[in-house]
């Protein structure tokens, strides 16, 4: 696989070819039949190509003057940056969407957290885009300049990277890009559910506990203090 004298498409296909050999062996032994070798190799190559294309798409992340990627646990930003984790909890078009953000510095100290309720978003992506716009506007109002946005909303990444593929959301995506340009430096990170757990819990509490009043506070929410502390401790470890 590491032999660069072999074309990359062939090297990518090696695991699938090995799997095809194994399946063919079982077909011969237990079903007393087999497909043509040419067809088997073609299928293996096609499956490898499809897998690669899908996974490259999922791993893409937005980058604006910063380094981005998917993280398995919450990670602090670089010194001088503030990291804002966001989440939008959408259930259906007839209910409010619970949205939240929590901002931490490079030492894992919580600077601000907020929750709010947006009325009747027609679909999940609209709720996510409105949450991102709200978080960016809030960070701008709070005077942050160098920021990282973290979220486990992968279709949001796709919409921001390729707005032409999402014409229904053109206006709000344009507003978001305008907000992005107002910061000195901004980067987006795709999180896992585990690494975005605190923001998710705050957002879920909006609908679960009927907390529809807009709320912004210094520091972190008391009820999630232990979760925040555990995340900070795991970084130190």
Confidence of residue 171 (pLDDT cuts 50, 70, 90): very high
Q: What is the residue range of 129's domain? A: 82-234
Q: In this structure, are 94 and 183 located in the same domain? A: yes
Kindly state whether residue 152 falls inside one of the protein's structural domains: yes
pLDDT tens digits, 194-210: 889 999 999 998 888 87
- My answer on whether 143 and 213 are in the same domain is yes
The reported pTM is 0.66
- Is the per-residue pLDDT at 18 higher than 80? yes
Is 90 within a domain? Answer: yes
Check whether residue 219 and residue 131 sit in a common domain. yes
How does the average pLDDT of the chain come out, rounded? 83
Task: Decide if 178 is inside a domain.
Answer: yes
Residue 235's pLDDT band, with cuts at 50, 70 and 90, is low
- SS3 letters across the chain: CCCCCCCHHHHHHHHHHHHHHHHHHHHHHHHCCCCCHHHHHHHHHHHHHHHHHHHHHHHCCCEECCCCCCECCCCCCCCCCEEEEEEEECCCCCCCEEEEEEEECCCCCEEEEEEEEECCCCCHHHHHHHHHHHHHHHHHHCCCCEEEEEECCHHHHHHHHCHHHCHHHHHHHHHHHHHHCCCCEEEEEEECCHHHHHHHHHHHHHHHCCCCCCEEEECCCHHHHHHHHHHHHHHHC
Domain identity same for 102 and 181: yes
- Say which CATH number the domain at 222 has: 3.30.420.10
Q: Over the stretch 83-138, which tens digit does the pLDDT of each residue have?
A: 999 999 988 777 788 999 999 999 999 999 999 987 778 888 889 999 999 999 99
Domain assignment present for residue 68? The answer is: no
Residues 163, 221: one domain? yes
Residues 145 and 39 grouped into a single domain: no
Specify whether 57 is located in the same domain as 115.
Answer: no
Is residue 125 located within the same domain as residue 15?
no
What pLDDT is attached to residue 60? 43
Same domain, 24 and 86: no
Number of domains in the chain: 2
């Amino acid at each position: 696989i590491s032999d660069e004298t072999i074309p990359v498409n062939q090297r990518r296909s090696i695991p699938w070819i090995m799997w095809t050999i194994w399946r063919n062996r079982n077909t011969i032994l237990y079903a007393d039949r087999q497909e043509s070798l040419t067809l088997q190799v073609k299928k293996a190559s096609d499956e490898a190509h499809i897998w690669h294309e899908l996974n490259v798409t999922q791993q893409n992340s937005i980058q604006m003057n910063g380094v981005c990627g998917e993280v398995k646990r919450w990670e602090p930003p670089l010194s001088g940056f503030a990291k804002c984790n966001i989440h939008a909890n959408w259930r259906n078009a007839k209910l409010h969407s619970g949205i939240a953000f929590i901002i931490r510095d490079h030492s894992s100290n919580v600077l601000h957290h907020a929750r709010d309720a947006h009325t009747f978003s027609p679909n999940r992506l609209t709720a996510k885009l409105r949450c991102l716009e709200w978080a960016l506007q809030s960070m701008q109002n709070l005077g942050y300049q160098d920021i990282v946005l973290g979220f486990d909303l992968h279709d949001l990444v796709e919409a921001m990277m390729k707005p032409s593929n999402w014409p229904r959301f053109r206006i709000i995506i344009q507003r978001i890009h305008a907000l992005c340009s107002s910061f000195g430096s901004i980067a987006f990170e795709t999180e896992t559910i585990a690494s975005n757990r605190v923001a998710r819990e705050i957002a879920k509490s909006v609908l679960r506990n009927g907390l529809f009043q807009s709320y912004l506070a210094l520091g972190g929410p008391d009820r999630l203090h232990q979760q925040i502390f555990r995340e900070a401790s795991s970084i130190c470890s």
